[in-house]
């Protein structure tokens, strides 16, 4: 469904980050285009998880 970035590209990135023990979170959203701001619900989901990741990994 995403015609900007193939989901396999995100899968490969997640695998490489995992292999190199780099902190990341990956939530594959099936059936959703690249524009996460088209739906308030999806946007809130993404914002929640991005904020949580940043709190866990960048804040003292």
pLDDT (tens place) for every residue of the chain, 60 residues total: 677 888 899 999 999 999 999 999 999 988 877 887 888 988 999 999 999 999 999 976
pTM over 0.85: no
2 within domain boundaries: no
Q: Which residues contact 17 (CB under 8 A, 6 or more apart)?
A: 23, 24
Provide the pLDDT for residue 1.
61
Domain hosting 24: range is 7-58
52 within domain boundaries: yes
Provide the pLDDT for residue 11.
95
1 within domain boundaries: no
Distance from chain centroid for Cα 29: 8
The torsion angle over the Cα atoms of residues 32, 37, 42 and 43, rounded to 10 degrees, is 150
Considering its fold, how many domains does the chain have in total? 1
Among all chains, which residue has been given the structure tokens 């619900």? Answer: 41
């Amino acid at each position: 469904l995403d015609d900007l970035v193939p989901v396999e590209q995100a899968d490969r990135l997640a695998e490489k980050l995992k292999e190199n023990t780099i902190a990341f979170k990956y939530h594959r959203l099936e059936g959703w285009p690249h524009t996460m701001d088209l739906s308030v619900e999806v946007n809130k989901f993404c914002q929640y998880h991005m904020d949580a990741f940043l709190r866990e990994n960048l804040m003292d």
